[in-house]
Amino acid sequence: MSRKYFGTDGIRGKVGEAPITADFLLKLGWAAGKVFANEGHGFVLVGKDTRISGYMFESALEAGLSAAGVDTRLLGPMPTPGVAYLTRTLRAKAGIVISASHNPYYDNGIKFFSVQGTKLPDDIEGKIESYIDSPMTTAESAKLGKAKRLVDASGRYIEFCKASIPTRFEFSGMKIVVDCAHGATYHIAPHVFREVGAQVIVIGAEPNGLNINDQCGATKPEQLVAAVMANQADFGIALDGDGDRLVMVDHKGEIVDGDELIYIIAKSRLDAGQMSGPVVGTLMTNLGMEHGLKEMGLSLLRAKVGDRYVMEMMNDHKGILGGENSGHIICLDRTTTGDGIIAALQVMAEMHDSGKTLHELKSGMQKYPQVLINIKTIKTVNLDGNENIVKSVRAVEEKLGNKGRVLLRASGTEPLIRVMVEGEDAGLVNNYAQQLAEDVKKVIGA
């Protein structure tokens, strides 16, 4: 179904530019309220990350929902997976998150969760869009929605995270660094990891509305690497601005990405006899992870890039584990959406049970060198239908054999063609990627 406002992960953009404006968010709140009002009595939860525009948009959404006659429970700063959990456990009509995830402070966005704690079905998004383009009305005064603050929201989510691992796990021997990206986990993640016994050093937990994801967190783990080494910590945990991504750093200062973390959790589930279904990755998932899983007798399915598509494929094939190399990790046997804190706890549990360091656990998977080149384009190109491009790709694939992979795809969000090559030899991979990029540029006239 085509969308005018909703993308693959809600609505997102630069603050002050359509559609991320106060007047649009007012209308969006009203439109969503009109749809949710038809669901019967109840309320909608609204959470946000720490960017400064969250105050403005929280008020706008609240006003729109009230005008539609729907009650609101305001959560304040709350990780995206926390909103998903609270929506489900409190039986809310829906959950709304005001966040642009790993983007800078000057961006913002809106995500919705259903009462099941999952993304809204396409038909509900379609109904909301139809109301956005219709005149706004206001319920009579006696039927206006009311708004309240849910004061124990953080405590509820902290307990849920801790409950994702058995109480027998006690991590008193672990010294860890936690980077909260000055985001929505700043008042939650440190409590979770301390309450399961770890000695926690916290960085990136002083949000001022402007520093979210700024040279910190899962997308910029260099500060975490330095902190792990300076404090001689066992490992580090980097979350992103809304807490749904996880990247870790081992005691040697090496970054452990989403693919490696998914591999570790998959092995843990398999050893415990709790693994079912295939592991779901994306077109960008490292070939080394696919080979590592195969050696354990597990299969990897590749979805389109985006956690929405990963989730769809997991549900279609009854999988319990999936995610992206960027750090979106979905443990459906523990929760309903990607959750950085819960994923980190699963890795810590495997370290505890195996007696191995994070560095030792990730070494079971040999990550292949991967080169990605972005080519700007001003016109649409049918990559699969162009004879010259197909010929170039086949030539590289023949040289790589089953020890490598080529991927050409148009970006879904930017005017770019992405050229990705991976294989065993870093030098050859780089040469092949450069060669393919030049061939693509010739075809598109870049």
Active site annotation includes 101: yes
What DSSP line would sit under 147-174, residue for residue?
EEE-TTHHHHHHHHHHTTS-TT---TT-
Q: Which of 98, 48, 96, 39 is nearest to 72 (CA)?
A: 96
What are the tokens at 419?
Answer: 């050229």
- In this structure, the chain runs to a length of 446
Burial bucket for residue 51 (CB in 10 Å: 0-12, 13-18, 19+) = buried
Q: Which of 403, 402, 408, 378 is nearest to 390 (CA)?
A: 408
What Cα–Cα distance (Å) separates residue 292 from each residue in 234, 264, 277, 367, 418?
Answer: 24, 10, 16, 9, 25
Region label for 197, one of left (φ > 0), alpha (ψ between -120 and 50) or beta (otherwise)? left
Catalytic residue among 53, 66, 99, 101: 101
Q: Which of 79, 7, 66, 144 is nearest to 342 (CA)?
A: 79
Decide: helix, strand or coil at residue 232.
Answer: coil
* Contact predicate 59/98, CB 8 Å: no
Indicate if the alpha-carbon torsion angle 334, 71, 24, 79 is positive or negative.
negative
Q: Which of 157, 412, 433 is nearest to 308 (CA)?
A: 412
Q: Which of 280, 273, 337 is nearest to 303 (CA)?
A: 280
Q: Which residues are catalytic?
A: 101
